[in-house]
Amino acid sequence: MSEARAAIAGGSRVVVKVGSSSLTTADDGLDVARLDALVDAVAGRVGSDGQVVLVSSGAIGAGLAPLSLDTRPRDLATQQAAASVGQLTLAHAYAASFGRYDLTVGQVLLTSNDVVRRAHYRNAERTLARLLALDAVPVVNENDTVATEEIRFGDNDRLAALVAHLVQADGLILLSDVDALYDGDPRAGGTRKIAEVTGESDLDGLKVGMSSSGLGTGGMMSKVAAARMAASSGIPVLVAAAADARRALTGADVGTAFHAADKRLSARRFWLGYAAGTEGRLQLDDGAVAAVVGKRRSLLAAGIVGVDGDFRAGDVVDLVDPAQQVVARGVVAYDVTELPEMIGRSTHELPDEHRREVVHADDLVPIGRH
Average pLDDT of the residues of the chain:
88
Domain boundaries, the chain: 3-269, 278-366
pTM for this model (two decimals): 0.83
For residues 141 and 109, the answer to whether their CB atoms sit within 8 Å is yes
Mean local confidence (pLDDT), 62-67: 89
pLDDT at residue 195 greater than cutoff 50: yes
User: Is 218 annotated in some ligand binding site?
Assistant: yes
Asked if 46 and 8 count as a contact pair (C-beta separation under 8 A), the reply is: no
214 known ligand binder: no
219 annotated binding-site participant: yes
- Report whether 344 belongs to an annotated binding site: no
217 is in an annotated binding site: yes
When pLDDT is cut at 50, 70 and 90, the band that residue 110 belongs to is confident
Q: Is 84 annotated for ligand binding?
A: no
For 3-269, CATH number out of 3.30.70.260, 3.40.50.720, 3.40.1160.10, 3.30.9.10 equals 3.40.1160.10
CB atoms within 10 A of CB 197: 22
Q: Is 179 annotated as a binding residue?
A: no
Q: Do the annotations mark residue 177 as ligand-binding?
A: yes
Q: Rounded CA gap, 252 and 246, in Å?
A: 9
* Ligand-binding site membership of 144 (annotated): yes
Architecture of domain 278-366: Roll (2.30)
Q: pLDDT (tens digit, 9 = 90+) per residue, 217-226?
A: 457 888 998 9
Residues 156 and 201: their CA atoms lie apart, in Å, by 25
Q: Which amino acid is at 100?
A: R
- At residue 213, does pLDDT exceed 60? no
Q: Which of 23-37, 110-124, 152-166 has the highest mean pLDDT?
A: 23-37
